[in-house]
Amino acid sequence: MMRDLELSRNDIVAAASELGLALRPSEIEVYAELIAGTVAAYRRLAVLAGPSRSPPTRMFRRSDIEEDPFNAFAVLTEVSGAPEGPLAGLRVALKDTIALAGVPLGVGTSVLDGFVPTDDATVVSRILAAGATIVGKTNCECLCASGASFTSSAGVVRNPHRPDHTACGSSSGSAVAVATGQAELAVGGDQGGSIRVPAAACGIVGLKPTYGLVPYSGVFSGDATIDHLGPMSRSVADNSRLLAVIAGADGLDPRQRVPVGYSPTFSAGPAGLRVGVVSEGFGGSEAMPEVGALVRDTVARATHLGVAVAEISIPMHADGLAIWMPVILEGTLAALLADGAPPGVGGFYMPDFVRRLSAWKRRPEDLSDVLRVLLVAGRAITARQGNFGYATAHNLGRRLAAAYDAALSQYDILAMPTLKRTASPLPAPNAGLEERFARAVETVTNTAPFDLTGHPALSLPVGAIHGLPVGLMLIGRRFEEATLYRLAAAIEDLVGGPPPVVRRSSLNVPVGGQGAPTSM
């Protein structure tokens, strides 16, 4: 506790050494006297903040394999909202990065075992006020640092279409919960594709909204410049319903710049829309030609609805992943070194969460092997050149955004596959780090650039290859989610309406948790 904060001479010498300073004995005493004044300010801070509040009592329990065979949920709940509202009667699942007061918040790592927040995230308050029932927190990848679904401390999340394949990530549990009908709606998070990638792999609708549209207050942050929350659903209409509830400024999140009068509501059909099919979104060694062909064919069918479709080129998209990479590497490292509260962001913080997350520095082995590789990469690179890569990437990100904006000045929507291939098989239990790392990072080639540029991007299921879903990604101008919905709803009708609920079958692998109802 800050109230008990004491710094010894050894603490001061060690801190100076980490900064490359070798204090002489005479300096140590001077430093100690001067630093004592700053420590007094920290003690006063603790007095002003007062004791930590107790979280409210909300019931939760671990799932069992019969009710949750694909391991979608970290915990199950039944938190009822208002008796009436636009989401009345609907069940909503929350990615386990989002604070639901009184219910554990784990972010896919055992470092946070036992942590229970005292406040609801803004999106939670809005969902409950809209009449929905929150049915659980969904499993996600370890601190969201994977595009697959096997790095969570809660175990593997399995693809409901083929359980020996990845559900993708990092919002893996949210996608599975919706695909299996365990929830009609879910909220996911997206820094590199973590809503759209699992949505595509599991055959549901997932939207990464315009940057800053949905408040991030009360949510674990990887890097504030690419943080997005968004809706996941089986139908386009329900996706729009949830976005309408959670969108809008909350006065707490400095990421937000929401236009006055914004609404995602759509009513007009797609006639008159112009769609540019981005050729650079289809190539690469990871691409499956049949996936690209299905996506192109689906968009071409929209011409019968009065949509103009043209093949276009945005050469810089091919470098989008490389431009985004330093931001996720160095941004994630900085966020973790700051224990989830990097300076300079502002907004709403969860101090008890920050203190609990700081334990990762004493227990780095509790982080996934994939995340450890990413952190070591970030640290080794920044040790050599500082944050030069991060700064350069953001500058190039503006050029990348301008390239997309130029295309969007001629076309209303850009189109490409969400994933260039269908979901991959899960690594075997004895798989080496090379295979595990490849599976974790292979999924975000098309999705990651739009986290950096902030454009809205929606993944829509358009069919399957060998029983595994294929997603079409539609990208629009900032704050023009309604335009994406216009085309997505029409294509949804073309391909036969929302996909059916995936039948939940028992697995031979005991992936689900089990436990009696618990309260905190």
pLDDT of residue 225: 97
Query: What is the mean pLDDT of the segment spanning 458-486?
Result: 98
Taking the CA atoms of 424, 429, 435 and 439 in sequence, report the sign of the dihedral they define: positive
Q: What is the CATH number of the domain that holds 162?
A: 3.90.1300.10
pLDDT digits (tens, 9 = 90+) for 301-355: 999 999 999 999 999 999 999 999 999 999 999 999 999 998 888 999 999 999 9
| The pair of three-digit structure tokens given for residue 319, joined into one six-digit string | 């470098």
Shared domain check, 72 and 134: yes
Residue 295 lies in a domain: yes
Residues identified as active-site: 95, 170, 194
130 & 111 share domain: yes
pLDDT higher than 50, residue 519: no
* Residues 338 and 429 placed together within one structural domain of the fold: yes
Q: Are residues 35 and 76 in the same domain?
A: no
Percent of the chain with pLDDT over 90: 90
Residue 333 lies in a domain: yes
Q: Rounded CA gap, 59 and 76, in Å?
A: 9
Q: Which residue has the higher pLDDT, 39 or 315?
A: 315
CA dist 243 and 221 (Å) reads 20
Q: Is residue 515 part of a domain?
A: no
Residue 509 domain-assigned? Answer: no
What is the residue-wise DSSP string for 121-182?
-HHHHHHHHTT-EEEEEEP--GGG--SSS--STT-PPEETTEEEEE--SSSHHHHHHHHTTS
Residue 483 confidence class, pLDDT cut points 50, 70, 90? very high
Question: Do 85 and 39 share a structural domain?
Answer: no
C-alpha neighbours within 13 Å on the C-beta side of residue 93:
31
pLDDT tens sequence across 503-518: 866 455 444 333 333 4
Please check whether residues 27 and 131 belong to one and the same domain. Answer: no
The predicted structure's pLDDT at residue 195: 98
Is residue 350 a part of any domain in this protein? yes
pTM: 0.94
Report the helix count and the strand count for the chain, using DSSP H and E. Answer: 14, 14
Regarding whether 79 and 45 lie in a shared domain, the answer is no
**Residues β-bridged to residue 471:** 461
What confidence tens digit (pLDDT) does each residue in 125-138 have? 999 999 999 999 99
Residue 428 lies in a domain: yes
Q: Are residues 113 and 6 in the same domain?
A: no
Confidence of residue 53 (pLDDT cuts 50, 70, 90): confident
Domain that holds residue 144: 60-494
* Exposure of 84 in the CB half-sphere (CA atoms within 13 A): 0
The domain total for the chain is 2
Specify if 397 maps to a domain.
yes
pLDDT over 60 (residue 434): yes
Same domain, 44 and 99: no
Residues 21 and 165 occupy one common structural domain: no
**427 pLDDT higher than 90:** yes
Report the share of the chain in percent with pLDDT over 70. 96
Q: What is the pLDDT of residue 30?
A: 95
Name the one residue in this structure whose structure tokens are 């039948």: 503
Same-domain pairing of 41 and 159: no
Whether residue 39 is contained in a domain is answered as: yes
Q: How far apart are CA 114 and CA 365, in angstroms?
A: 18
Q: Which residue in 368, 385, 376 sits closest to 333, CA to CA?
A: 376
Do 70 and 511 contact (CB within 8 A), yes or no? yes
Tell me the mean pLDDT in the region 90-114: 98
Q: Are residues 23 and 169 in the same domain?
A: no
Tell me: the pLDDT tens digits for 407-419?
999 999 999 999 9
Place of tokens 């509501």: 265
